């Protein structure tokens, strides 16, 4: 059971008065939890079957704008409804909110009740089903990096997002002293999420002032994506409750290291690690090599799903631990893909390209699709790179801008085959819109640079 309450448990909690609210949520294109707060009595009596939401919610941007150009919905089509179908296996307590439980929903067509193909959860389920047809399960872990700030979201917004002060004054990578000073926020994050049924491993200071990392134990891919979305949401709410802000913007300052979301991946067969071959070099099975070859070859095609905003591309800078090249290496943090746990049953590949702003369902769906393609085509893995990969002129580049990643997505026949033309057209439009919005803005940088001197 991915959640930590059965439907019967929930009913008992509602009857004894300990739960009065059920958050009924789905995950939007940006990876945010959207939905409604139900009175728990209404939920257990009727809404557990289904509820509804406006279908613009899978065709909007961070600002809730209604861009044109989506085939699935528009003003012309009248912005109708979707069905939100609660996945009752995901019911869990949300102990950081009093008297509240949460359930995640799948998005279905209002008329046919068929899954909506561009629903992020449906996209991941589709690739998991393809893998299951090969007799394989995917295990994933996504690391969550973020920055904590002294002030709250509301104070920062009212101040025009200026003079941002991180919660600490120095690089706190692995620091116990500095992270002790942040326990007011980080301890409830670990403990509340653990009590919500997430297998929290640890939190640690990261390599910048005010930068944090939360690690959650690896799990089946869908559970991992659910954990990531719930954790990201809870981190913001718990920081807010303590008068602080937590940001997952990958690059909040030009001189500071960015925040990533590395994704650890392994495939399993009948409960055994299918990436492991005790006899093979580095313990890597042929299956693992084919999977990695697909991951690496198609990384430019799916970079948009790892880096969906203008800001995401500011993170890909030399000498910052954020990769710029789609190659692999053995325990070397400068490559896009790093082999971890070599020669053990825990052998796995870590993709280091994704930023803290990725949507885990889309990222995992795209990477599984690439890995499956590698397996199907028995693609050959090139030898690992060594040394400073940033300076390796032969290594292929990751798209360096949103514009380049959008074109790679649009032209990807592999992704079109794996996910469907409608889905790729939908997300290409999402990417284009983000660029169009940015192109319309006059930035602070232009004003400061040119106001007097141009
Ligand atoms: P690090 O030293 O980089 O923190 P860890 O050994 O703690 O490395 O693992 C990092 C992440 O990898 C953890 O979240 C862990 O749950 C996950 N992980 C471990 N084994 C596997 C595996 N076989 N498949 C996928 N993820 C795994």
Give tens-digit pLDDT for 182-198. Answer: 999 999 999 999 999 99
Atom of ligand 1 minimally distant from the CA of 217: 16
Residue with tokens 């959640």: 3
Quick one: which H or E segment has residue 245? strand 245-247
Say if ligand 1 is within 6 A of residue 333 CB.
no
Say if ligand 1 is within 6 A of residue 275 CB.
no
- Where are any strands of DSSP class E within 275-380? 328-330, 337-340, 348-351
Q: Is the dihedral of CA 370, 374, 377, 381 positive or negative?
A: positive
How far apart CA 112 and CA 213 sit, in angstroms, is 42
Question: Which of 190, 346, 349 is the pocket-test mutation for ligand 1 (most atoms within 8 Å of CB)?
Answer: 346
- Specify whether the CB–CB gap between 413 and 305 falls below 8 A: no
Predicted local distance difference test score (pLDDT) of residue 433: 98
Residue 438: exposed, middle, or buried by beta-carbon count in 10 A (0-12, 13-18, 19+)? middle
How far apart CA 296 and CA 382 sit, in angstroms, is 10
Separation in Å, CA 94 to CA 81, 233, 320, 363: 27, 11, 35, 25
Nearest CA-CA partner of 103 in 44, 29, 191 = 44
Atom of ligand 1 minimally distant from the CA of 346: 23
Q: Which amino acid residue places its CA nearest to atom 23 of ligand 1?
A: 346
In the Cβ-directed half-sphere of 240, how many Cα atoms lie within 13 Å? 12
| Residue 317 Cα to ligand 1 middle (Å) | 25
∠ CA 349-354-356 to the nearest 5 degrees? 125
| Residue 351 Cα to ligand 1 middle (Å) | 12
Tens-digit pLDDT profile for residues 317-346? 766 667 778 899 997 777 899 999 999 999
How far apart CA 348 and CA 341 sit, in angstroms, is 6
Atom of ligand 1 minimally distant from the CA of 140: 25
Predicted local distance difference test score (pLDDT) of residue 319: 67
Predicted local distance difference test score (pLDDT) of residue 348: 98
Q: Which residues contact 82 (CB under 8 A, 6 or more apart)?
A: 52, 53, 54, 55, 57, 58, 107, 108, 109, 110, 116
- Where b means 16+ CB within 10 Å and e means fewer, 22-48 reads bbbbbbbbbbbbbbeebebeebbeebb
Q: Which amino acid residue places its CA nearest to atom 13 of ligand 1?
A: 217
Q: How would DSSP label each residue in 62-85?
A: TT----S--SS--TTTT--EEEEE
First to last CA, the chain: 62
Tens-digit pLDDT profile for residues 343-381? 999 999 999 999 999 999 999 999 999 999 999 999 999
Say if ligand 1 is within 6 A of residue 136 CB.
no
Atom of ligand 1 minimally distant from the CA of 273: 23
Q: Which amino acid residue places its CA nearest to atom 8 of ligand 1?
A: 340
Say if ligand 1 is within 6 A of residue 228 CB.
no
Say if ligand 1 is within 6 A of residue 251 CB.
no
- What six digits make up the tokens of 199? 């297998």
Tens-digit pLDDT profile for residues 96-110? 999 999 999 999 999
Predicted local distance difference test score (pLDDT) of residue 387: 77
| Residue 4 Cα to ligand 1 middle (Å) | 23
| Residue 234 Cα to ligand 1 middle (Å) | 22
Question: Which of 223, 264, 271 is the pocket-test mutation for ligand 1 (most atoms within 8 Å of CB)?
Answer: 264
Say if ligand 1 is within 6 A of residue 215 CB.
yes
Say if ligand 1 is within 6 A of residue 199 CB.
no
Cβ atoms within 10 A of the Cβ of 204, count? 17
How far apart CA 6 and CA 25 sit, in angstroms, is 17
- Specify whether the CB–CB gap between 34 and 28 falls below 8 A: yes
Predicted local distance difference test score (pLDDT) of residue 231: 98
How far apart CA 391 and CA 437 sit, in angstroms, is 34
Q: How confident is the model at residue 389 (pLDDT cuts 50, 70, 90)?
A: confident
How far apart CA 364 and CA 267 sit, in angstroms, is 13
| Residue 218 Cα to ligand 1 middle (Å) | 7
The strand pair at 337-340 and 328-330 is best described as parallel
Question: Which of 218, 342, 351, 360 is the pocket-test mutation for ligand 1 (most atoms within 8 Å of CB)?
Answer: 218
Tens-digit pLDDT profile for residues 45-98? 999 999 999 999 999 999 999 999 999 998 988 889 999 999 999 999 999 999
| Residue 123 Cα to ligand 1 middle (Å) | 24
Predicted local distance difference test score (pLDDT) of residue 320: 65
Predicted local distance difference test score (pLDDT) of residue 125: 98
Say if ligand 1 is within 6 A of residue 276 CB.
no
∠ CA 301-421-118 to the nearest 5 degrees? 90
Say if ligand 1 is within 6 A of residue 201 CB.
yes
Q: Which amino acid residue places its CA nearest to atom 2 of ligand 1?
A: 340
Tens-digit pLDDT profile for residues 241-300? 999 999 999 999 999 999 999 999 999 999 999 999 999 999 999 999 999 999 999 999
Say if ligand 1 is within 6 A of residue 346 CB.
yes
Say if ligand 1 is within 6 A of residue 217 CB.
yes
Residue 171: exposed, middle, or buried by beta-carbon count in 10 A (0-12, 13-18, 19+)? middle
Predicted local distance difference test score (pLDDT) of residue 386: 82
Tens-digit pLDDT profile for residues 213-250? 999 999 999 999 999 999 999 999 999 999 999 999 99
| Residue 361 Cα to ligand 1 middle (Å) | 18
Quote the mean pLDDT of the chain: 96
| Residue 165 Cα to ligand 1 middle (Å) | 31
Nearest CA-CA partner of 182 in 210, 154, 202 = 210
């Amino acid at each position: 059971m991915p959640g930590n309450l059965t439907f019967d448990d929930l009913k008992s909690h509602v009857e004894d008065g300990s739960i009065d609210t059920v958050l009924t949520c789905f995950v939007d294109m940006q990876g945010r939890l959207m939905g409604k707060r139900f009175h728990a009595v209404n939920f257990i009596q009727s809404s557990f079957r289904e509820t509804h939401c406006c279908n613009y919610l899978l065709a909007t941007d961070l600002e809730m704008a209604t861009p044109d150009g989506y085939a699935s919905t528009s003003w012309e089509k009248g912005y109708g409804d979707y069905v939100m179908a609660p996945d009752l296996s995901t019911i869990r307590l949300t102990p950081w909110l009093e008297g509240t439980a949460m359930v995640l929903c799948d998005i279905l067509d209002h008329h046919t009740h068929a899954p909506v193909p561009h629903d992020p959860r449906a996209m991941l389920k589709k690739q998991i089903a393809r893998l299951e047809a090969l007799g394989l399960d995917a295990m994933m872990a996504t690391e969550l990096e973020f920055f904590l700030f002294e002030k709250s979201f509301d104070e920062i917004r009212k101040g025009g997002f200026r003079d941002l002060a991180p919660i600490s004054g120095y690089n706190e990578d692995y620091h116990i002293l500095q992270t002790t000073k942040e326990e007011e926020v980080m301890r409830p994050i670990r403990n509340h999420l653990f009590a919500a049924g997430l297998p929290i491993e640890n939190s640690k200071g990261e390599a910048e002032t005010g930068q944090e990392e939360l690690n959650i134990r690896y799990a089946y891919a869908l559970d991992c994506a659910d954990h990531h979305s719930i954790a990201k949401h809870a981190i913001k709410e718990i920081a807010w409750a303590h008068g602080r802000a937590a940001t997952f913007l990958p690059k909040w300052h030009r001189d500071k290291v960015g925040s990533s979301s590395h994704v650890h991946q392994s495939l399993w067969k009948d409960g055994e690690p299918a990436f492991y071959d005790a006899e093979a070099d580095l313990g890597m099975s042929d299956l693992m090599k084919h999977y990695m070859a697909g991951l690496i070859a198609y990384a430019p095609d799916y970079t948009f799903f790892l880096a969906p905003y203008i800001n995401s591309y500011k993170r890909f800078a030399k000498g910052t631990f954020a990769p710029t090249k789609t190659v692999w290496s053995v325990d070397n943090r400068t490559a896009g893909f790093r082999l971890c746990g070599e020669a053990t049953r825990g052998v796995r590949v870590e993709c280091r390209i994704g930023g803290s702003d990725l949507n885990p369902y889309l990222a995992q769906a795209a990477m599984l699709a690439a890995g499956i393609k590698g397996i199907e085509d028995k693609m050959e893995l090139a030898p690992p790179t060594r040394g400073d990969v940033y300076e390796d002129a032969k290594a292929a580049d990751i798209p360096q801008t949103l514009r380049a990643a959008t074109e790679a997505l649009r032209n990807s026949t592999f992704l079109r085959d794996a996910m469907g033309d409608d889905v790729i057209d939908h997300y290409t439009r999402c990417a284009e819109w983000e660029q169009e919005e940015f192109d319309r803005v006059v930035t602070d940088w232009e004003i400061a640079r040119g106001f007097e001197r141009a």
